[in-house]
Structure 1
Amino acid sequence: MSEYEVKLAQGKDEYLLIHFLKDVSFWLKEKEIDQWGFLAAGGEDDEIREAIRNKQTFLMKKDQRMIATFTLYDLQSEWDIHTWGKLDDQAVYLHRLAVSRLSIGSGIGKIALRCAEEYCKKNGKSILRLDCIENNKKLNQFYLDNGFHLTGVFDEHCKYEKRL
């Protein structure tokens, strides 16, 4: 992993990060995967900015180029409560894991998941949870291949967790 730089996003990264996520969402739309339609329309811009301010969003770079990002919530967001119900346990919630178009298939997503797992362990958390749209078969398989267990489907979203 030494060839990759993983760091917390800062305010100066805001524009780059929002642009990066929207680019990924448009690419998904081109593939007829409605994963992040709300994000593409600017519906999550404020939440993205807040996650940066709260030091919850990570950037991955290689050769000074952004190749991936992910956000980790130690407490449930409104969406998490909607999806999972109100829970009070040792879980971290993974949001907006995205890999650049050029890096898809290179193993960067798996490395990002390992970084999220390390974050959980360092912070005394024993569960990593996420959800993704049910009709994104490749992404669902990616999570299964990386040790996550499907715990159910709610509102057309598959719910996954991994005990660490």
Structure 2
Amino acid sequence: MKKRQFFYFSFLLLIFALFGCTETPKEEKQISPIVQSNSEVSSLTDKEFSNLGGLNDLTNPTKENFKKVEIKINISNFKTLKNPKISLNDNWKSVFGDNYWFGSGSTEDDKFIYNYKMVLYTENLPDEEIEKKLKSAKYKITWKNKNDQLETKTYTFGDNIKFSK
């Protein structure tokens, strides 16, 4: 009887060892973009104001009539997304109209880092309106998921705004 119990115990132990130690395939992890975005609105320095051009058309322009806006977007896992694309409106004149004084930007496509710096004429443009306009400007990221279906996420440039002096 003890031999039979030993046999059953050994057989069960062997079954658990064979099936319990085999690794089941893990489901492929769903990858979404990791986006860090911020916009900072601040006053111009004296030097920045002295370098502004086109002030002749304004009546008594002062440094306080202008603000600079810096926008940064970093998609840290851009390379790990499958077929990623980003579409954004880089025409800030269309967002701010006549308040847009000038600006320039750059992107690093391999990591996707977007930087844009602009100067706004803000004599009749309060901070609340700047925030509203930044929140109305959107950008969209598309990529394919693990099932090769197209995924899309939309963000606004006003998701993370900081106003400083």
Both proteins in one fold, TM over 0.5: no
TM-score by length of 2: 0.25
Q: Relative contact order: is structure 1 or structure 2 higher (C-alpha 8 Å, sep ≥ 6)?
A: 2
Q: Which has the larger share of strand?
A: 2
Query: Which one has the bigger helix percentage?
Result: 1
Larger Rg: 2
